Structure 1
Amino acid sequence: MSKSVAQSFIDLVKRSQLVEEDQLSKFLVSYRKTHGELPQRHEAVAEILIEAGLLTQWQTEKLLAGKHRGFILGKYKLLGQLGKGGMSTVYLAEHILMRAQRAIKVLPRNRVEDSTYLERFRIEARAAAKLDDPNIVRAYDIDQEGDTHFLVMEYVAGQDLHALVKEQGPIDFYAAADYIAQAARGLSHAHEMGLIHRDIKPANCLLDENKVVKLLDMGLARMTDDEASLTLDNNENVLGTADYLAPEQALNSHDADARSDIYSLGCTLYFLLTGHPPFPEGSISQRLMKHQTEVAPSILKERPDVPPTLLHICEKMMAKSPDERYPSAQDIDVRLTAWLEDQGRNVGDSGNSTDSDSDGVGSGILQRFAQSIDRSGSGSGSAIHQVDKKKKKSPPASKENDEEIGLAPLEEEHMPDEEAISLSESARTTDDLTAATHDTVTDGPHRSLIEEALEKQEAKTQRVAERFKSQPGEINPLRPPGYKGPSYGISPWVYIGITIGVVVVLGVILAVTLNS
């Protein structure tokens, strides 16, 4: 009895093609020599195969439920489910020959006959194929197996920023600036390649194990050089996520440009700092209306210690009028990078240290000097840290519709029902207020780092002075009305008073002398 029970599960594994027969046979021979016959229960045999690294938890749960078909998709073997969205499901897969792990986005079979979804799926593939940037999830291939359409992408072990904040709460100012600066770099590359993302949000910003941010999900991207628009072709005026949608994009997604993505990225920064989107209450239509007409509640209400520069950057990104926002994602990267350097930090430092304290005044200069030495002595100028070659754990098993990938029950045998398993988680120096409204990076000849820092400070001071000269109607917080400037030494009026006093005394003495 024991042998037949164990053998029935082994036969199921063979039919699934998840393990090569030679590899499975060698393992069984080795196991029997060491431990004897296999256990009597299917679950126990499955656990042994998991510990041996031959199967994943997700695979064994499907097998125990009697599923044996659909694990092989083209050149890939499915290892587990990473997530599921409104128009696709994403699986972790392994290239059968190369043994490289990939993320595969599968379009549900019931969507294939819908030309809108199929075309949008192809648009995402074309959009992703144009991009090659360390802050964007790469797309490698698009393929079709029967009536199953799928997109092969880079697999990034980590969690998205939405999950991070929900798990840990609002993050510190330096990490928030770091992550948004990285996202801005990826977004800048997409814009340069003629792509508007149109769905920037925390859930689409993936944070890998080295704290590198990668943008994903180009499903709503619009190519600026496309002659036709999928949005217009299907009478769809609004595409995106309500909590992060720019006012102009809510009116007509076809008119969205790079500044619309900047607004959404600003809302993402707001979420990182507060733990919630700008307008978390109300229905979808009410939230969209608030993005149109209301200014988001100030971050100061929840985090009164937010640095003025970071607050100004976030508020400018979220300006209602596109003309009042930063003109490009690159400008956001420059501003955040400059602010981090002023705090003695650099973009990407969140993956190096958990220390949130400032390194002290001038630490940014010394740190950049040390980095310049490191760069001159190495052959790589990359600012992105390479991912450690760690053993990747298979994702937790989740309950989903097996028909989407063609998993079918084994008809010859009855296997125990699969228990429902829910998807588990995948996975200061105080700023000068006036400096918050000006760029700190200027072009000029190559100088030493010390000279460069001094010149930047001098240029900053001069720009502040010129600004208030060119806008006389604006009140300078450093020089309010009636301010006459600082005084040094003893006031001239003191000398005048003393002189008058001396003259009076001499006059009295002279009068007394003459009278006597």
Structure 2
Amino acid sequence: MAAVSVEKFVDLLKRSKLIEHLDQLAKELAEIKVERGGRLPDDPGELAEALIDRGVITRWQADKLLEGRHKGFFLGKYRLQGHIGSGGMSAVYLAAHVLMHRQAAIKVLPRNRVEDSSYLARFYQEAEAAARLDDRNIVRIYDVDNDGDIHYIVMEYVDGPDLQRLVKRDGPLDYETAANYIAQAAIGLDHAHQAGLVHRDVKPANLLVDPKGVVKILDMGLARLVDKDGDEKASLTVAHDENVLGTADYLAPEQALDSHSVDERADIYSLGCTLYFLLTGHPPFPEGTLPQRLMMHQTKAPARIEIDRPDIPQDLSLICERMMAKSPDARPQSAATVASQLIDWLSARGQSFNDGSGSSPRIGSGSSGNLTGGSGLGRGGSRTKTSPSRRPKRSRTAGRRPVSMEDTVADAENTQAGSPHPADRKAKGRDRLPVAKPLPVPGEPDTPDVPEIDVELVDDGGPRSRPPSLAEKRKARRRQSQPPVWLWLTVLGAAAALLGLVVVLTQVM
């Protein structure tokens, strides 16, 4: 039941200034009368529907008017058209410039957050971070401003879902589509990294897909800024004593311990967890409490992708595993390397890389196709030849139904992901990219689900001239059974980081 009458609804619409000229409103109402036998509907809801059908107002605007409101439809030079969604730090609205009529998304900081210096500073840091960037695979920022105590950022509007909503709606993606999306994201991240930014919150909910299939990275609110001299600029992580920032399901092991000192390889880890999600439909560690899942980041390998997708090409699985290596040195060392690997993988399967532009991929000078982070796919730095291109297969996402406006906002769920071990498996099928057997990676577990424990071996500095005594054997067994000092320090550091994260999450919630 509407809170207003038809007459009151028309009065509120006039006072709202949503329609620039009142004679235009009078014309629309006259035409509705003619269509309905010479009178307006008796129900204000029916009148609102008629105006929505004619494109005079939006449904969100109509709902507000039916609630008896006529204010709050404008912010600066923008007319608000709808509420896209809300997260922990802000609300996002669809808007249009009153003169240029260009649509944009406006992120608004809630009034109750304005007094919190950490949130306000991070809000403006997002604008500063994004202002450094101009890339088709990153959501562009148009403006940042405030209207009294209302602070807002005007950004590019992407009419499509984020990858988390896409997978939740349609299930895991086909292999080629997943590789294409992650390659695009890697190209965007490479642009950000070269500009001195580490995103620190890469996840499916922060990757939007527009109607042309272009992936765009969203939300620089947690980005780490580095100036031209390589020094971190006024880190909010340090200034507000926040040791852990990011989303737990996609958090690199080193980021869980100290978020303000991570480099671009933390983003590569998070992007690998995102690829894992696209292929399986769930993060690497979907079970357990938040502290348990954070600890899994440090000690446990996730379930193999083959459990959910038995037919996954071994070389694609290996790319994902290398991206999620627990040691930063074991991952590809640049986002450009990741993009090159995935584009090469697509080419080897007869698939062309499609970023929606029809042009060649834009990969930085550090690009490489090496699965181990070096300069080539095989050992010795030699690149593996790819098979000739064949006709691209039709993507499973083609022809899907239009996505509603609510699908465009990143989900704010905080969960945790882990990192796998490198696996030596035989590639099957003639189409797959040949992959050299990966070298053992220090610090990586040899078997799934079993954390690696260092064993301190007994060595007296030279060959033994006699068999060890019983006392020596007992001493050696005691030393082998005791966890090494570095493991205790790692556990203590992880526990401290967990406590910091719980405090931060409590403040956010």
Kindly tell me: are residues 16 and 299 of structure 1, through their superposed partners in 2, closer, same or farther at Cα, counting changes over 3 Å? Answer: same
Residue 77 of structure 1 and its aligned partner are, at CA, apart by: 0.7
Q: Which residue of 1 aligns with 2:61?
A: 59
SS in structure 2 of the partner of residue 242 of structure 1 = coil
Q: Which residue of 1 aligns with 2:100?
A: 98
Alignment partners' CA distance in 2, 1:98 and 1:363: 49
Alignment partners' CA distance in 1, 2:59 and 2:296: 45
Q: Which residue of 1 aligns with 2:266?
A: 260
Q: How does 1:113-124 map to 2 (within 5 A)?
A: 113-124=115-126
Q: Which residue of 2 aligns with 1:337?
A: 343
Q: Which residue of 2 aligns with 1:436?
A: 435
Kindly tell me: are residues 437 and 363 of structure 1, through their superposed partners in 2, closer, same or farther at Cα, counting changes over 3 Å? Answer: closer
User: Would you identify which runs of 4 or more consecutive aligned residues in structure 1 move more than 4 Å?
Assistant: 349-352, 431-434
Alignment partners' CA distance in 1, 2:387 and 2:432: 21
SS in structure 2 of the partner of residue 243 of structure 1 = coil
Q: Which residue of 1 aligns with 2:10?
A: 10
SS in structure 1 of the partner of residue 301 of structure 2 = coil
Q: Which residue of 2 aligns with 1:30?
A: 31
Q: How does 1:44-443 map to 2 (within 5 A)?
A: 44-225=46-227, 226-348=232-354, 364-365=388-389, 395=405, 430=429, 435-437=434-436
- 1:296-322 superposed Cα distances (whole Å, 9 cap, x missing partner): 111112212111110110000000000
Alignment partners' CA distance in 2, 1:23 and 1:146: 32
Q: Which runs of 5+ in 1 are unaligned?
A: 353-361, 369-391, 399-427, 439-463, 468-516
Letter in 2 for 1:239: L
Residue 436 of structure 1 and its aligned partner are, at CA, apart by: 2.4
Kindly tell me: are residues 327 and 393 of structure 1, through their superposed partners in 2, closer, same or farther at Cα, counting changes over 3 Å? Answer: closer
Structure number having the greater helix percentage: 1
Alignment partners' CA distance in 1, 2:322 and 2:126: 29
Q: Which residue of 1 aligns with 2:383?
A: none
Alignment partners' CA distance in 1, 2:391 and 2:278: 26
Letter in 1 for 2:16: S
Alignment partners' CA distance in 2, 1:310 and 1:395: 33
- Counterpart contact for 2:126–2:223, Cα < 8 Å: yes
Segment drifting more, 239-248 vs 47-56:
47-56
Letter in 2 for 1:184: A
Alignment partners' CA distance in 2, 1:43 and 1:60: 8
SS in structure 2 of the partner of residue 175 of structure 1 = helix
Q: How many residues align?
A: 378
- What RMSD in Å do the two structures reach over aligned CA positions? 2.8
Alignment partners' CA distance in 1, 2:201 and 2:431: 34
Kindly tell me: are residues 436 and 393 of structure 1, through their superposed partners in 2, closer, same or farther at Cα, counting changes over 3 Å? Answer: closer
Alignment partners' CA distance in 2, 1:100 and 1:210: 19
Letter in 1 for 2:26: S
Alignment partners' CA distance in 2, 1:434 and 1:62: 56
Alignment partners' CA distance in 2, 1:34 and 1:303: 56
- Counterpart contact for 2:243–2:258, Cα < 8 Å: yes
- Counterpart contact for 2:201–2:246, Cα < 8 Å: yes
Kindly tell me: are residues 27 and 177 of structure 1, through their superposed partners in 2, closer, same or farther at Cα, counting changes over 3 Å? Answer: same
Letter in 2 for 1:18: L
Kindly tell me: are residues 206 and 434 of structure 1, through their superposed partners in 2, closer, same or farther at Cα, counting changes over 3 Å? Answer: closer
Letter in 1 for 2:12: L
Residue 395 of structure 1 and its aligned partner are, at CA, apart by: 3.4
SS in structure 1 of the partner of residue 84 of structure 2 = strand
Letter in 2 for 1:261: D
- Counterpart contact for 1:178–1:348, Cα < 8 Å: yes
Alignment partners' CA distance in 2, 1:34 and 1:283: 59
Alignment partners' CA distance in 1, 2:25 and 2:433: 69
SS in structure 2 of the partner of residue 106 of structure 1 = strand
- Counterpart contact for 2:252–2:269, Cα < 8 Å: yes
> Which of the pair has more CA radius of gyration?
1
Alignment partners' CA distance in 2, 1:237 and 1:107: 23
Letter in 2 for 1:99: H
- Counterpart contact for 1:309–1:431, Cα < 8 Å: no
Residue 227 of structure 1 and its aligned partner are, at CA, apart by: 3.4
Alignment partners' CA distance in 1, 2:95 and 2:353: 31
SS in structure 2 of the partner of residue 185 of structure 1 = helix
- 1:393-447 superposed Cα distances (whole Å, 9 cap, x missing partner): 983699xxxxxxxxxxxxxxxxxxxxxxxxxxxxx98268882249xxxxxxxxx
Residue 32 of structure 1 and its aligned partner are, at CA, apart by: 3.3
Residue 363 of structure 1 and its aligned partner are, at CA, apart by: 7.9
- Counterpart contact for 1:80–1:396, Cα < 8 Å: no
- 1:469-489 superposed Cα distances (whole Å, 9 cap, x missing partner): xxxxxxxxxxxxxxxxxxxxx
SS in structure 1 of the partner of residue 161 of structure 2 = strand
| TM-score of the two chains, using structure 2 as the length reference | 0.70
Residue 66 of structure 1 and its aligned partner are, at CA, apart by: 1.2
Residue 14 of structure 1 and its aligned partner are, at CA, apart by: 1.1
Residue 209 of structure 1 and its aligned partner are, at CA, apart by: 1.0
| TM-score of the two chains, using structure 1 as the length reference | 0.69
Kindly tell me: are residues 222 and 251 of structure 1, through their superposed partners in 2, closer, same or farther at Cα, counting changes over 3 Å? Answer: same
Segment drifting more, 178-187 vs 27-36:
27-36
Letter in 1 for 2:211: E
**Identical aligned residues as a percent:** 57
